[in-house]
Amino acid sequence: MRAALFAAVTPLVALPLASAPASADRAEIPVAEVPSEELCTPPDPVLAELSGLTVLGETIYATPDAGADESVVALNSDCSVAQRFTPPVDPYDVEDLAAGPDGRLWLGDTGDNTQSRPTVALISLDPATGAGELYRLTYPDGPRDAETLLVSADGEPVIITKALFGPSGVYRPVRERGLTELDSPGPTPLEKVGALALGPTETPGGPLPGASSTLITGGAVSADGTVAAVRTYTDVYLFHAPDRDIAAALAEGPDLRIPVPDEPQGEAVAFTASGDLLTASETGTQTGTVAAVQPPIRILRSVVDLFADESVAATPEVSTSAVVPLAVAASAAVVAVGAGRWWWRSRRSRGHR
């Protein structure tokens, strides 16, 4: 693991982030061409807007974006429905799903498109009993929208915000508190431990021209805790954490990028126990006036092994993360044009969490 921290530069004002000095060794990010294939398509209509994925053992768990039915759905390996869970606490806007080292599921109730929530929350769910609890969290620097929750092998939750302009923030509970040390209902304060800027890339896809490859929409941690994945609508970035310190790995920047051009609005990502990577889109494909089909779950094989197999072909390319060049400022106008389309996704307000 490289020791230097990175800096992120906002595309609008092009000012360096003082808390994260730039690192010259982030100048090139290798690109790993890992073919994806369709694993299966969940038949449950609640997953027509699939937003979060995680895996416990051989079971895939999926959660939809905020809507009338916000069940967590347990899927078999062929995507047939094994069980459905009603969240133990009425959520506001669940955007991601993670598995804790204690076998509980953790719902990332962190969506806040209007950036108006005084608190966000994690909601635990025991898949054996359906029971769970609410854990409120507060940002140190005001409300933030976030769609990415990672839980380390040691049980530390990490939230990455979704910034329309500039770098996203990386947050964890103060004093490195793990899941078992959070207060219920709280709130527990978060601390900002870094910033992360991904993209832009030329990978096609996503709902926002000019911004789809920069907005962070999901994350996951491998079963052994040594690899973190953070995705945009169009790409997945891998962070090597041999010491299982996910927050530190994120601060150092990504080690590999994998394009995932097959998804119109990629938001979900999860590791299997064997080290494969699952991805999914919040919307299915649509052609002309034909209604969108149910979004499938796709699989990229042996992704964790990329850090053990030096024979895997990887193509270095100019950085698409960490240090955003000043030229990106020229794309800000394109992003602004697409921003109007982005806000249609604002959810109805529900009970505050």
Of 14-18, 131-135, 221-225, least confident by mean pLDDT is: 14-18
State yes or no: pLDDT of 84 exceeds 90. Answer: yes
What percentage of the chain has pLDDT greater than the value 70?
76
Considering only CA atoms, which of 168, 289, 284, 147 is closest in space to residue 220? 147
Residues with Cβ within 8 Å of residue 141, at least 6 apart in sequence: 169, 192
The CA distance from 237 to 259, in Å, is: 9
In whole angstroms, what is the distance from residue 289 CA to residue 297 CA?
23
Tokens 């169009």 identify what position? 234
Instruction: Work out the burial of residue 169: count CB atoms within 10 Å of its CB; fewer than 13 is exposed, 13-18 middle, 19 or more buried.
Output: buried
- Supply the range of the domain harboring residue 253: 36-282+293-345
Do 266 and 258 meet the contact criterion of CB atoms below 8 Å apart?
Answer: no
Place of tokens 């962190």: 110
Q: Are strands 188-196 and 134-138 parallel, antiparallel or unpaired?
A: parallel
E-strand stretches of 162-309? 168-173, 188-196, 216-221, 227-232, 235-240, 256-259, 266-271, 277-281, 297-300
User: Does residue 3 fall inside a structural domain?
Assistant: no
How high is the pLDDT of residue 70? 86
**Would you state the pLDDT for residue 201?**
94
Cis peptide before 91 (omega within 30 of 0): no
CA–CA dist 97, 253 (Å, integer): 22
With respect to residue 327, please indicate whether it lies within any of the assigned structural domains.
yes
Amino acid in position 238? L
* Most confident range, picked from 45-49, 163-167, 217-221, 333-337: 217-221
Collapsing DSSP to helix, strand or coil, 145 comes out as coil
Q: Hey, which residues does 236 pair with through a beta bridge?
A: 231, 258
Q: Return the pLDDT at 138.
A: 98
Confidence of residue 42 (pLDDT cuts 50, 70, 90): very high
Asked whether residue 310 carries a pLDDT value surpassing 70, the answer given is no
In a domain, 58, yes or no: yes
Q: Is residue 283 very low, low, confident or very high in pLDDT (cuts 50, 70, 90)? A: confident
DSSP designation for 304? G
Which tens digit of pLDDT belongs to each residue from 340-349? 444 444 444 4
Name the nearest CA neighbour of 257 among 314, 325, 196, 219.
Answer: 314
Let me know: does 213 contact 269? Beta carbons within 8 Å: no
| Domain-embedded: residue 23 | no
Q: Is residue 18 included in any domain, yes or no?
A: no
Give residue 68's pLDDT: 65
Specify the pLDDT at position 67.
67
Q: What is the CATH number of the domain that holds 269?
A: 2.120.10
- In angstroms, rounded to a whole number, what is the distance separating the alpha carbons of residues 92 and 341? 22
Mean pLDDT value across the chain = 82
Count: domains in the chain: 1
Q: pLDDT value at position 74?
A: 97
Q: How confident is the model at residue 20 (pLDDT cuts 50, 70, 90)?
A: very low
Q: Is the dihedral of CA 175, 180, 186, 192 positive or negative?
A: positive
In a domain, 75, yes or no: yes
How many percent of the chain have pLDDT more than 90?
70
For the cut 80, the answer to whether the pLDDT of residue 19 exceeds it is no
Edge-to-edge order in the sheet of strand 168-173: 96-99, 105-109, 120-125, 134-138, 188-196, 168-173, 157-161, 146-151
Is 60 exceeded by the pLDDT of residue 124?
yes
pLDDT at 292: 56
Q: How far apart are CA 77 and CA 141, in angstroms?
A: 41
Token pair recorded at residue 7:
């800096």
Residues 222, 270: Cα–Cα separation, whole Å: 8
Banded model confidence at residue 97, pLDDT cuts 50, 70, 90: very high
What's the pLDDT at 308? 86
Residue 114 in contact with residue 350, Cβ under 8 Å? Answer: no
Confirm whether 352 is domain-assigned. Answer: no
Residue 72 belongs to some domain of the structure: yes
Distance CA 308, CA 44 (A): 37
Whether the CB-CB separation of 172 and 190 falls below 8 Å is answered with yes
Listed in sequence order, the residues at least 6 apart from 175 whose beta carbon sits closer than 8 Å to its beta carbon are none
How many other CB atoms sit within 10 Å of the CB of residue 309? 9
